[in-house]
Amino acid sequence: MEIADSTQAIETLLEEGRRFQPSADFAAQANAQAGIYEEADRDVEAFWEKWARTLEWSKPFTKVLDWKEPFARWFYDGELNVSVNCLDRHVRADRGNRIAYYYEGEQGDRQSITYKELLGEVCVFANGLRKLGLKRGDRVAIYMGMIPQLPVAMLACTRIGVVHSVIFGGFSPDSIVDRVNDARCVAVITADFARRRGGTVPLKHNVDVALAQTPSVKHCIVAKRVGDPIEMKPGRDLWWEDVVRGQSATCEPESMNAEDLLYLLYTSGTTAKPKGIKHTTGGYLVYAAMTHKLVFDLKDDTDVYWCSADIGWVTGHSYIVYGPLANCATSVIYEGTPDYPDKDRLWEIIERYKVTILYTAPTAIRTFMKWGAQYPQAHDLSSLRLLGTVGEPINPEAWIWYREHIGGGRTPVVDTWWQTETGGIMISPLPGITTLMPGSATYPIPGTYADVVNDKGESVPPGGGGYLVLTKPWPGMLRGIWGDDERYVETYWKRFPHKYFAGDGCRRDHDGNYWLMGRVDDVMNVSGHRISTTEVESALVGNPKVAEAAVCGKLDDITGQAIYAFVTLRGGQNGSEALANELREFVADKLGKFTRPKYITFTPELPKTRSGKIMRRLLRDVAEGRALGDVTTLADSAIVKDLEERAKTEIAQEE
């Protein structure tokens, strides 16, 4: 990653004065109470030991932390099994009839799965995997849509000590090849198809293309989701139903060391090769369970919780599967998109299941804004008591819209910052005790420690900006990069000695609140001013005519970089030179004249992955007139082609 050498702080920060105190009723019953930060600060290892003791250990640990920078071992002489902690212990506690998942398929097919039923399905499939010869330490790739078999497959792997590597179902065959070969997976678990917007995604076909280049794979297990004909290769391919046929609904779990590898999850880096992030068994589960319980204020006997992410990303691992199940939560899994068959699908689901907690992405919220408040207003959302955001910084106006139109003006909104590498939420309000601020993730959670530093690694005083770093180990942290310890050290620990470099820019206000500014390579340098893309986007979206905006830098002979904005307007608005100039002045009023976008392209849609993230790399390609990079992960690749044409008639600022 290229990092600017300038010691100049990130200069732009919207003035955001709105504050929301926890209501007295919410605070009185909150899981997090005053004193929790002080408790962690007094003895952080004792703090994490207490949380670890809430899990079930087949061999209790006596050691909490072994820290040989930058490698950590947590609870390293203890043994446990993840599936036992997510399922068996709840069933033994007479909670087996509690709903683990409400499953909603895109076509309206529905299923309620209890903890007892989920345990049985996990054991049956785990026994089937064992019969095929899979054993402790083997790696298995999982490439599926959002169907119940996905968490079943993950938990079955954990039951027998097999390491899973979930590959997002929107990835291309080449991406499957890279991940399977790097981990030397011995099996792939997939489905015939996935359903999407009334059509199908050919998962098995994609796997077939990939497996022509993956010599380590011996088995391909296929769940039947759609039922249309597919090719099955004899001797390699097996139907899920054949793997589980005749298997027992009880399965002896492996007793895993706390530091045994639980899963690999690949994430993009500054090179073409994805990084296999390693998460281990004990520390990760402790961290996922703790953060899920405190940040979302989970009441396991009354809440219906919905994280709308895809399980193929870390958000789904930690906050659809492992955190919620460890806490005996009732969750929703939804296969489809928010706009199929109409733009009220999410609100219809919330009304049907009386969802109390919703966790979604700012990109989705801005899309809901663009569609209009009439869609949520058509449904009863009064069951909601807490809202959360994840994936990128949220601009204050989207935060306010989310609280007002989805939360009825009464729910807390927890804006969370974390990464694939951290395993769980690192910076977030605790809703019972934190004063909420639109656009700020507020403070590091208890037991975690962060700082904002300049180019020399020196802590920046309150009111300044710089690079976000983490200063102490935490249980959910990655244990390295699969097969590449040197890359792990180089990427995360070399830039600032004794500090984990998160790769994000951040400001910290005079009250100590953290304001995340996006990736440091999304910071533009215009005439010597370092300007965050997030801040310009926030200013643009603050205009009532704008539904969504994405900003990048474009090379400029005079200023080094010029600001290029891609803008989606709200319904009824049309792009024009006059409106472009109006938006420039609007941004100038918010942030200063030097932040006015030089280029503005109006577009009905922005290029996004199927998980809803804006592909900013492609926007930079469009802005610079370069050949487009890989577009296989886009939800609709036609959008970026349309953008290329629109960019030819970009509305440039008059000099």
- Strand 465-470's sheet: what is its strand order? 450-453, 465-470, 500-508, 514-519
Rounded Cα distance between 533 and 64, Å, is 41
Could you tell me which of 375, 364, 397 has the C-alpha nearest to residue 544? 397
How far apart, in Å, are the Cα atoms of 317 and each of 87, 144, 419?
Answer: 16, 13, 12
Q: DSSP characters for 348-375? A: HHHHHHT--EEEE-HHHHHHHHHH-THH
Task: Kindly report the number of other CB atoms within 10 A of residue 110's CB atom.
Answer: 12
- 15 within domain boundaries: no
Average pLDDT of span 170-183:
90
Residues in the chain: 655
- 17 within domain boundaries: no
* 448 and 531 belong to one structural domain: no
Rounded Cα distance between 19 and 524, Å, is 29
Rounded Cα distance between 30 and 295, Å, is 10
**Which of 33-37, 287-291, 347-351, 612-616 bottoms out in mean pLDDT, i.e. has the lowest?**
612-616
First to last CA, the chain: 33
Residue 3 clears pLDDT 60, i.e. is over it: no
* 286 and 325 belong to one structural domain: yes
Average pLDDT of span 281-288:
98
Q: What is the pLDDT of residue 614?
A: 82
Could you tell me which of 611, 502, 622 has the C-alpha nearest to residue 550? 622
Which pLDDT tens digit goes with each residue over 315-350? 999 999 999 999 999 999 999 999 999 999 999 999
- 44 within domain boundaries: yes
* 363 and 448 belong to one structural domain: yes
- Give residue 646's domain range: 527-652
Task: Kindly report the number of other CB atoms within 10 A of residue 94's CB atom.
Answer: 8
* 480 and 619 belong to one structural domain: no
Phi and psi at 624, nearest 5°, equal: -90, -5
Specify which residues 413 forms β-bridges with. Answer: 387
- 103 within domain boundaries: yes
Residue 11 clears pLDDT 80, i.e. is over it: no
**Cβ-contact 159, 253 below 8 angstroms:** yes
* 485 and 544 belong to one structural domain: no
Rounded Cα distance between 357 and 320, Å, is 12
Give the β-pairing of 139-143 and 187-191: parallel
Which pLDDT tens digit goes with each residue over 438-494? 999 999 999 999 999 999 999 999 998 999 999 999 999 999 999 999 999 999 999
Which pLDDT tens digit goes with each residue over 201-235? 999 999 999 999 999 999 999 999 999 999 999 99
Please report which residue ranges of 317-453 form alpha helices under DSSP H. 323-326, 345-353, 362-371, 374-377, 396-401
* 448 and 587 belong to one structural domain: no
Q: What is the pLDDT of residue 299?
A: 97
Average pLDDT of span 120-143:
98
- 522 within domain boundaries: no
Q: DSSP characters for 215-283? A: TT--EEEEE-SS-------TTTEEEHHHHHTT--S--PPP-EETTSEEEEEEE--SSSSPEEEEEEHHH
Average pLDDT of span 251-279:
88
Sign of CA dihedral 592, 597, 602, 605: negative
* 352 and 221 belong to one structural domain: yes
- 405 within domain boundaries: yes
Specify which residues 333 forms β-bridges with. Answer: 103
* 324 and 445 belong to one structural domain: yes
* 164 and 285 belong to one structural domain: yes
Total number of domains constituting the chain: 2
* 486 and 548 belong to one structural domain: no
Residues 6+ apart with CB under 8 A from 482: 182, 183, 264, 275, 276, 277, 278
Residues 6+ apart with CB under 8 A from 232: 222, 239
Rounded Cα distance between 650 and 172, Å, is 31
CATH number at residue 647: 3.30.300.30
Name the 3-class secondary structure at 183: helix
Q: What is the pLDDT of residue 492?
A: 96
pTM score of the predicted model = 0.85
- 14 within domain boundaries: no
**Cβ-contact 598, 562 below 8 angstroms:** yes
* 471 and 543 belong to one structural domain: no
**Cβ-contact 235, 219 below 8 angstroms:** no
- 582 within domain boundaries: yes
* 482 and 572 belong to one structural domain: no
Q: How confident is the model at residue 633 (pLDDT cuts 50, 70, 90)?
A: low
Residue 268 clears pLDDT 80, i.e. is over it: no
Sign of CA dihedral 543, 547, 548, 553: negative
CATH number at residue 496: 3.40.50.12780
Rounded Cα distance between 404 and 387, Å, is 11
**Cβ-contact 168, 206 below 8 angstroms:** no
